[in-house]
């Protein structure tokens, strides 16, 4: 029996989360645009003029004071992080109320999968933000999250209901949770990889552009690599847990079902990426190309298998 009140509350929380993510995206973008410009423009100019003495020195000091005053008035970075955390909390409440409305784990169809994966991606980003200060990644990840949630709400939405018979197992809380966490992690790595490719190509770009506010290409490459190193063992565990679940549900560990096949293909490509970096020392563009191929396999495994291919794992509805 579906609790319609909780279901409606979940839908409203989803709308609120999307709106808050939009505000956070704007805050991150403003931090990159205005915060970076203030940091880059003031110090060098001030040093030259003050060293020369005369009226220019006082004007430079005034400019520095105005810049510092601007920084006190609008802390775009802190504002963006605050709204992002609030959006993350509302998003988590949406998932919880969705599960309570249907009295089951809240990932039984594509709408719920997308919501859970984006929540995992934002969670990974917030942890990285706390650990590595990667606020520059915020606006780009928020764009991906907003697009994904928009697609889920407009085209993938299904009312909460009971799970399909094959999904009635405690393994859904283990296997799917691992798959969702790994997919969210790989999404963050995919965004960092795309930024790397743009940054590497934009080395001779216009100074002061948006890519001038993100770290150098080597840092982006390193962040992407570390994120994938975290996600890969979780994806490996998800495949192993899925095989154990398949044995209890269908009487075999592996049957080359399309979802199983593409999960394995995705695993192989990510393993190839990590192996190439660890043994052949691949860095930069070559490694980034493999990373994007792996991310493409992941997206096809998520969307394509459920909508384009018939199989035991086709749970689009």
53 or 35, which is more confident: 35
The mean pLDDT of 61-78, rounded to a whole number, is: 57
Quote the domain boundaries for residue 199: 164-317
Judge whether residue 111 has pLDDT over 90: yes
Rounded Cα distance between 266 and 283, Å, is 20
Judge whether residue 23 has pLDDT over 70: yes
35 or 214, which is more confident: 214
User: b or e along 238-267 (b: 16 or more beta carbons within 10 Å of the residue's beta carbon)?
Assistant: bbebbbebbeebeeeeeeebbbbbbbeebb
Judge whether residue 29 has pLDDT over 50: yes
pLDDT for res 269: 97
pLDDT for res 310: 64
Cβ contacts of 1 within 8 Å, gap of 6 or more: 103
Q: What is the mean pLDDT of the chain?
A: 85
pLDDT for res 68: 47
Q: How confident is the model at residue 108 (pLDDT cuts 50, 70, 90)?
A: confident
Say if CB 95 and CB 115 are below 8 A apart.
Answer: yes
17 or 108, which is more confident: 17
Is there a domain that residue 141 lies in? no
Is there a domain that residue 283 lies in? yes
73 or 15, which is more confident: 15
Report how many domains make up the chain: 1
Is there a domain that residue 208 lies in? yes
Q: What is the 3-state secondary structure (H, E, C) of the chain?
A: CCCHHHHHHHHHHHHHHHHHHHHHHHHHHHHHHHHHHHHHHHHHHHHHHHHHCCHHHHHHHHHHHHHHHHHHHCCHHHHHHHHHHHHHHHHHHHHHHHHHHHCCCCCCCHHHHHHHHHHHHHHHHHHHHHHHCCHHHHHHHHHHHHHHHHHHHHCCCCCCCCCCHHHCCCHHHHHHHHHHHHHHHHHHHHHHHHHHHHHHHCCCCCCCCHHHHCCCHHHHHHHHHHHHHHHHHHHHHHHHHHHHHHHHHHCCCCCCCHHHHHHHHHHHHHHHHHHHHHHHCCCHHHHHHHHHHHHHHHHHHHHHHHHHCCCCCCCCC
In this prediction the pTM is: 0.85
- At residue 101, what are phi and psi to the nearest 5 degrees? -65, -40
Q: How confident is the model at residue 201 (pLDDT cuts 50, 70, 90)?
A: confident
Judge whether residue 296 has pLDDT over 80: yes
Picking from 302, 283, 21, the residue whose alpha carbon sits closest to that of residue 182 is 302
295 or 32, which is more confident: 295
Judge whether residue 42 has pLDDT over 90: no
Is there a domain that residue 74 lies in? no
pLDDT for res 209: 66
Say if CB 290 and CB 276 are below 8 A apart.
Answer: yes
176 or 312, which is more confident: 176
Which residue do the tokens 């493409």 mark?
Answer: 296
Q: How confident is the model at residue 257 (pLDDT cuts 50, 70, 90)?
A: confident
297 or 204, which is more confident: 297
pLDDT for res 38: 39
Is there a domain that residue 279 lies in? yes
58 or 227, which is more confident: 227
Is there a domain that residue 273 lies in? yes
101: alpha, beta or left? (left if phi > 0; alpha if psi -120 to 50): alpha
Is there a domain that residue 8 lies in? no
Is there a domain that residue 304 lies in? yes
Q: How confident is the model at residue 79 (pLDDT cuts 50, 70, 90)?
A: very high
Q: Among 63-72, 93-102, 272-281, name the one with the lowest average pLDDT.
A: 63-72
Cβ contacts of 56 within 8 Å, gap of 6 or more: 49, 50
Q: Among 161-170, 190-199, 201-210, 286-295, name the one with the lowest average pLDDT.
A: 201-210
């Amino acid at each position: 029996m579906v609790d319609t009140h909780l279901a409606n509350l979940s839908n409203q929380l989803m709308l609120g989360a999307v709106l808050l993510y939009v505000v956070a995206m704007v805050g991150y973008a403003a931090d990159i645009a205005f915060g970076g410009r203030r940091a880059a423009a003031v110090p060098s100019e001030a040093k030259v003029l003050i060293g020369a003495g005369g009226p220019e020195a006082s004007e430079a000091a005034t400019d520095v004071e105005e810049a510092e005053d601007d920084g006190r008035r609008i802390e775009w970075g802190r504002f963006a992080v605050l709204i992002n955390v609030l959006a993350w909390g509302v998003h988590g409440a949406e998932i919880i109320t969705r599960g309570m409305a249907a009295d089951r784990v809240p990932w039984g169809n594509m709408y719920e999968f997308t919501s859970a994966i984006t929540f995992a991606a934002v969670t990974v980003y917030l942890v990285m933000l706390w650990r590595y200060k990667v606020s520059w990644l915020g606006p780009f990840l928020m764009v991906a999250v907003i697009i994904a949630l928009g697609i889920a709400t407009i085209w993938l939405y299904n009312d909460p209901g009971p799970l399909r018979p094959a999904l009635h197992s405690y393994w859904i809380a283990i296997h799917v949770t691992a798959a969702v966490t790994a997919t969210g992690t790989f999404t963050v790595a995919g965004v960092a990889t795309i930024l790397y490719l743009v940054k590497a190509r934009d080395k001779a770009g216009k100074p002061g552009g948006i890519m001038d506010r993100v770290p150098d290409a080597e840092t982006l490459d390193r962040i992407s690599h570390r994120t994938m190193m975290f996600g890969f063992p979780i994806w490996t565990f998800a495949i192993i847990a899925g095989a154990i679940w398949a044995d209890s549900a269908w009487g075999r560990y592996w049957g080359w079902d399309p979802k199983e096949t593409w999960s394995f293909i995705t695993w192989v490509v990510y393993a190839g990426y990590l192996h190439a970096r660890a043994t052949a020392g691949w860095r930069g563009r070559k490694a980034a190309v493999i990373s994007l191929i792996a991310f493409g396999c992941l997206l096809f495994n998520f969307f394509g298998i459920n909508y384009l291919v018939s199989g035991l794992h086709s749970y689009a509805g």
